[in-house]
Structure 1
Amino acid sequence: MNTLSDLWHRVLSTQPDPPHLLVVVTGIVALLVVVPRQAWTLSRNAVTIAHEGGHALVGVLCGRRLQGIRLHSDTSGLTVSRGKSHGPGMVLSLFAGYVTPSLLGLAGAALLGLGRITLLLWISLVLLLAVLVMIRNVYGALAVLVVGALVFVVSWLASPAAQAAFAFAGTWFLLFGGVRPIRELQRLRRRGEAPDSDADQLARLTRVPGLFWVVLFGLVNLAALVLGGYLLVQPLLRSAG
């Protein structure tokens, strides 16, 4: 009982504001992972996990029956669910994919602003476990296990300073990493290489042009980046004031 109580206290405890340099450096590191093509090609797998997890979660909340998630080595993914092929539930589940990474980053920034570093890491583990249960291919399972193992090792074995660095870097990554796929999506659409993209499926369902949905994805993710970035740099602003 004491062990469980200690664990619960550890997860819910608050941590002090991190050093200002850590907030800045982790943001720069996240940018260096998102912007260069080679680094992004590898790290984009984490964004795809969040993207497909968003489809799955919103689909289930809208009453759809989730059949499985597949993640591919080219960083694409597929979430399969059963239910009506039209209507608000289908629209919401399609819309959720591209905005989920950024919204997760925003939620992470809010938790970090409250000093809940350990809680953020453990929530991340729970979400990854939920995705893992629904993975239906080997590469996808391996990708989720690698990310989950990294989060677990940091949350369980790393020092508080290392946990803070990891949590801030991961949150910055989701905020920045949620924006880049929108540009890539529109580039593929312009070339005619993504006829079944989320935006084009939404266009067929709603009869609203696909470009509208791309712009809406972008606006939501940029807003999350601005607000989440503000929450992350609040300690710097407080000290400056």
Structure 2
Amino acid sequence: MDELVREWTARLLDTGNVTALVVGVVALVLVCYRSTWRVLRNVVTIAHEGGHAVVALLSGRKLNGIRLHSDTSGLTVSTGKAHGPGMVFTLLAGYPAVSLLGLGGAWLVTADLARVMLWVCIGLLVVMLLAIRNAYGVLSVVITGAVLFAVSWYATPAWQASCCALLSWFLLFGGIRPIAELRGKRVRGRASESDADQLARLTGLPGGVWLGTWFLVGIAALVVGAQWLLVMPQV
């Protein structure tokens, strides 16, 4: 056990991994600091609503549109049965989508595929843009896509890897904070139409069960993603 800890520590203190650790700390600050979170939470909302949209389509529902709002909330509207597995999975998908995207990004960074990650994200944003139904949503998606395009086009490979690591860390941390925020809103009785409460009405399981499930998924993704980013060769 001691040998394993020493080996892990040695790999962590490798120059590239120290860089990844610093990037992770920066991402954590961006998520925890209220002013930066208020702006960057739009990225989390895009991923959240994208998760709803993808699962809605995969479950056979018709996607009517996505709206992103200036208060960083969002709404994905789909039509189909108002109950059953399709609706349940659609509602379930939003919060885990953020963490799972961060986990996927972490894997791509450690596999030295940062440029691929950038273009996959840009492609997903272009597709999502087709479903956006309000001006603020269009602006949010276009700005996010423009930043990613600039990194992919102008940044050196090392900077691309660092930026992708930052995005991965941000999604891994950012996938957890909204769950805590939702819990607080539910305690104050201000989230009766939240994903958790809608799931509670559909399934009979308390909303807290869904919050707990999302939290565990987020923590698991963070642990695995952090291990990939910190102890595997990258940047």
Between the two proteins, the alignment pairs up a number of residues equal to: 221
From 55, 77, 81, give the equivalent of 2:52.
55
Do the aligned partners of 1:18 and 1:164 also contact (CA within 8 Å) in 2? no
Do the aligned partners of 1:182 and 1:217 also contact (CA within 8 Å) in 2? yes
Q: 1:155 to 1:18 in 2, by over 3 A?
A: farther
What is the 5 A alignment of 1:1-241? 19-235=16-232
Inter-partner Cα distance in structure 1 for 2:55 and 2:16: 36
Do the aligned partners of 1:55 and 1:96 also contact (CA within 8 Å) in 2? yes
* Corresponding residue SS for 1:203: helix
Instruction: Give the C-alpha shift of residue 157 in structure 1.
Output: 1.4
Inter-partner Cα distance in structure 2 for 1:205 and 1:18: 50
Match of 1:5 in 2: none
Q: Which runs of 5+ in 2 are unaligned?
A: 1-13
Identical pairs, percent? 54
Q: TM-score, normalised by structure 2?
A: 0.91
Aligned partner of 1:44: which letter? Answer: R
* Corresponding residue SS for 2:72: coil
Inter-partner Cα distance in structure 2 for 1:46 and 1:132: 14
Q: TM-score, normalised by structure 1?
A: 0.89
Which string of whole-angstrom CA distances, capped at 9 and with x for unpartnered residues, describes residues 161-204 of structure 1? 21111100000000000000010000000100000000000000
Aligned partner of 1:21: which letter? Answer: V
Inter-partner Cα distance in structure 2 for 1:22 and 1:133: 37
Structure of greater relative contact order (alpha carbons < 8 Å, 6+ residues apart): 2
Q: Which runs of 5+ in 1 are unaligned?
A: 1-16
Alignment root-mean-square deviation, CA: 1.4
Instruction: Give the C-alpha shift of residue 111 in structure 1.
Output: 1.3
Instruction: Give the C-alpha shift of residue 18 in structure 1.
Output: 8.2
Aligned partner of 2:153: which letter? Answer: W
Structure 1 stretches of 4+ with a deviation exceeding 2 A read: 17-22
